A and B are shown apart, each in its own frame.
Chain A
């Protein structure tokens, strides 16, 4: 469990970091919390020649409000997100999701930017990003661009990020009124990652019908996805146990679930439905509890 030799940089500014990754291109790896990269390097599954540790770039570790958006810097740890009052207020789904990641040590080191860039198919955050219609901001030496969460996750551990780009922050839009959310996760018993994770946001109208619902699913397929069929079934309807059951039956429609020693495709599909329904139930109860 010893990585191959590499050269190590610890830039203090984003510009320096961008210059380094531009110069070294494919041969460089960014290091944030190291909770995914270091194990891969120790197993020599990842053998970068240059490691650019962005951990000293202070400006990337912040949580703030900006024009109604919740903005979370890429270096915010899972613990930062889980314990932030502002996140709990503006996007409680994200705090709840962060609290479900790994163990205390992992949450103290791992970062939101690292998790999203790494894009493990069983990671927790991606489901919430999809359900919250988050925007992901990437910087490169030629400027910044904003990527909608629904377009960010491309394939197995593959995202929209290009070599030379650094994910700098995540922007979460303000929730509609009378919204509730919940994350429910079936843990893979060994790793603790999601075997099936459902992040749900529902918003009610004045008469208590579902104005809109967003369901992000992780752990089930090669990439996280929105259960748009189920969302469509819910929109405009009065919530009832039957409606929730019928809609959640559909969450994994059209996707090809993963299969491994921990769960077959059929089981993942079934678990996704059950956990989506439970998340929906919890989210609705919370939305109904919201005044205004």
Chain B
């Protein structure tokens, strides 16, 4: 980097934290407008039913009730939820904002009630009378695909939303040449994102200006603005989306939801502000879910452990309707299925399956955790069958650093990597060899220690526009204001990741000012240039690069102006610590403040230079980035109860250069904790009737502080050539790398019982059963400790 870095690379504490920890930050629910009304959605208790009639008369007559809408009232006025994914021959499954004649999942909205306060609203919601005729529900994926299965959508030939396939190399030949074919059937269960803040919406309409303002807890303010304008057929220039503080998203707010459109529609219709708050149970039912893929994987292997080829058949549970990206997510699994291995012969088939459940969509990792899980579990199965150490097997199949950029059989170009480096560091830091000795010694005493490895590569910095449904660039506008303070407007929409801090570090270093001289503005579509938003570990690598490029433009302009004032060649000047200094004669300098002043007073500008100090950059990335790493998990299984204790965790991640190691640490730790959730605890369980049995936090277990040991995190640094800062992205790494390491560790612990695979979550009873129903009787009998 051309500028002296004072802040970049330092573990600077988050600028956003003081307001958050003091409780003086503003979330949507903190906003109250005069005359504000409250919206509630009456939801279907059935997974699949015909709606015979909806009688709103009693609700309408209830005290405080202002309006009750049903599908009929919004027909033609609000278009269905948009889906940006285009997959050839995909069957249509658009989600209406209120169910028309049929409900297709528990929690689907049937009526919208508006009342003067939340109490009146809640009472009135019980008075909406819906006459349902229950229909058979489609829940299980395999059954859903049978010819005789009921259909989720009546007119469709079957419940297969699409078939997506990809083939590379010569798979047949690879399997013919194999010494062995290792097969594994795995489930990557459905999960609920559980953001701390459920969704919340507030809409306000000003008839005089024909101006519609929407506050929403969202990750994508601009896309939301465009889509709301389209759904309501309202001029986009009249729609103002504001995203205040957001209490986590994990992908669940990377979407457009019925409540956003309904609140806007009602605010216009009633000319009163309308607020909707999601309850936790509603959040479980009607905010997108994640994962929900099963995979049949076959690996063609040679006796020495060389992987010759892969076949993978994936079934993806899409739910009843498409949300913004629903059908697309499983295809990311397809693209990343070969992981960080040299597998040039492969075929992947993905079937998207419609079911009577909430839609799945992007959930932290979005397709890559599934891919990594499948290939990493299968690698361990190969290691077990061939009796090769899992570390050795991985090492053997990695492409070498000199092979990069590396073209995968799935059509991606991995930018750069040193998989061996990360693996070796992880082995060293975990004391892998000693752990294996310890494991052998403990096994003799009947104790079950398990060591699990996972080497991963992921796809980040989404992405080049050619590969992204709505474009993959990001924008920044930077203004150096007359007093010398720097206002950075970003199209990214951070919602907990801490980019107000990392972006400030970049701008401050590039422009030679202090951290507190910079303010980052985001989330307000009338303040910032059009942007794509925050998801796909893209914010630093794409949004941050836009800021970097913008700073370059401003720096050049500052140097030009300073050169003119100093009678010096701008190329011989540097910008540092609020001074513009001559490289030839460091005594010769002019202050940043004076230069900025000159730009605004505009009396002594060089010819051809415009007044003011503002620059905009729309950065289009040339490729994705591909962070990688190796995680090691060590667990001990209680053979009497199946309880799993995580005793040690070592993560080595390579996300390129680290702008702020503290933020990286937070992302890695948080991701690993979510992985502990998926591996051990979490599962959205629907029964045969399509009822969500894990519909609240009393039944859906998420990890807590006590479930997490000290996480030891390390890095190798392989900067990407894709962007000038050499940064790759780290927001999802933890959820991608950690889950398979944890499951591999538990399966490893259970090796003495002949256990080859267990599906997640590794609930105590599942582990206990694996021990107590093990075929090897002698080993399987529970032994008393002591």
Contact = CB atoms under 8 A, between A and B. Distances in A.
Contacts of B118: 2
Given A186-B641, A190-B698, A261-B693, A2 B119 contact: yes
Contacts of B180: none
30 contacts: A1-B280, A1-B281, A2-B119, A4-B123, A5-B119, A5-B123, A186-B641, A186-B643, A188-B701, A189-B681, A189-B701, A190-B681, A190-B694, A190-B697, A190-B701, A190-B702, A191-B698, A241-B784, A241-B786, A245-B784, A261-B694, A261-B699, A262-B699, A263-B765, A264-B765, A270-B640, A270-B772, A271-B641, A274-B640, A274-B641
A270 B122 contact: no
Given A2-B118, A274-B640, 12 more contacts: A2-B119, A5-B119, A186-B641, A190-B698, A241-B784, A261-B694, A267-B764, A267-B769, A270-B640, A270-B641, A270-B768, A274-B641
Contacts of A5: 119, 123
B119 A267 contact: no
Interface in A156-190: 186, 188-190
Nearest to B680: A189
Given A2-B122, A4-B123, A5-B119, A190 B700 contact: yes
B66 to A, nearest CB: 17
B709 interface: no
B701 A1 contact: no
Interface string A262-282: 111001001100100000000
Nearest to B765: A267
Q: Which 3 A-B pairs have the closest CB atoms?
A: A190-B701, A189-B701, A2-B122
A3 to B, nearest CB: 9
Contacts of B76: none
B41 to A, nearest CB: 14
A4 B281 CA distance: 18
B279 interface: yes
B755 interface: no
Interface string B742-786: 000000000000000000000111001100100000000000101
Contacts of A263: 764-765
B699 A267 contact: no
B527 interface: no
A150 B150 CA distance: 52
A186 B118 CA distance: 39
B685 interface: yes
Nearest to B121: A2
Contacts of A267: 764-765, 768-769
Contacts of A2: 118-119, 122
Interface size range on B against A: 20 to 34
Interface string B98-140: 0000000000000000000011001100000000000000000
Q: Is the interface of B mostly helix, strand, loop or mixed?
A: loop
Interface residues of A, number: 19
Nearest to B768: A267
Interface of B: 118-119, 122-123, 279-281, 640-641, 643, 681, 685, 693-694, 697-702, 763-765, 768-769, 772, 784, 786
Contacts of B641: 186, 270-271, 274
Contacts of B279: 1
A262 B312 CA distance: 32
A2 B277 CA distance: 12
Interface of A: 1-2, 4-5, 186, 188-191, 241, 245, 261-264, 267, 270-271, 274
Contacts of B699: 190-191, 261-262
Contacts of B772: 270
A274 B784 CA distance: 9
A8 to B, nearest CB: 14
A153 B122 CA distance: 35
Nearest to A1: B279
A262 B768 CA distance: 13
A190 B772 CA distance: 24
Contacts of A190: 681, 694, 697-702
A263 B763 CA distance: 9
A263 B701 CA distance: 13
A262 B122 CA distance: 31
B707 to A, nearest CB: 8
Contacts of B280: 1
A121 B333 CA distance: 43
A4 B122 CA distance: 8
A243 B700 CA distance: 38
Nearest to A275: B641
Contacts of B784: 241, 245
A2 B117 CA distance: 11
A190 B700 CA distance: 6
B701 to A, nearest CB: 4
A262 B786 CA distance: 28
B685 A261 contact: yes
A274 B785 CA distance: 10
Nearest to A274: B640
A163 to B, nearest CB: 26
Nearest to A264: B765
Contacts of A261: 685, 693-694, 699
A1 B122 CA distance: 8
A80 B605 CA distance: 75
Contacts of B693: 261
Contacts of B640: 270, 274
A195 to B, nearest CB: 8
Contacts of A4: 123
A123 to B, nearest CB: 13
Contacts of A191: 698-699
A186 B641 CA distance: 9
B96 to A, nearest CB: 26
A206 to B, nearest CB: 26
A287 B768 CA distance: 31
Contacts of B119: 2, 5
A45 to B, nearest CB: 12
A208 B130 CA distance: 69
B297 to A, nearest CB: 28
A191 B697 CA distance: 7
Contacts of B765: 263-264, 267
A191 B702 CA distance: 10
A188 to B, nearest CB: 8
B282 to A, nearest CB: 9
A274 B123 CA distance: 48
A186 B764 CA distance: 10
A270 B642 CA distance: 11
For A186, A261, A263, A264, the residue with the greatest tally of chain B CB atoms inside 10 Å of its CB is A261
Nearest to B643: A186
Nearest to B125: A2
Nearest to B766: A267
Nearest to B277: A1
Contacts of A188: 701
A4 B125 CA distance: 12
A44 to B, nearest CB: 8
A1 B118 CA distance: 10
Contacts of B786: 241
A188 B280 CA distance: 20
A1 B786 CA distance: 49
A259 to B, nearest CB: 11
A68 to B, nearest CB: 37
Contacts of A271: 641, 764
A2 B40 CA distance: 12
Contacts of B701: 188-190
A241 B641 CA distance: 18
Contacts of B281: 1
Nearest to B117: A2
Contacts of A262: 699
A238 B379 CA distance: 52
Contacts of A264: 765
B786 to A, nearest CB: 6
Contacts of B698: 190-191
A190 B702 CA distance: 7
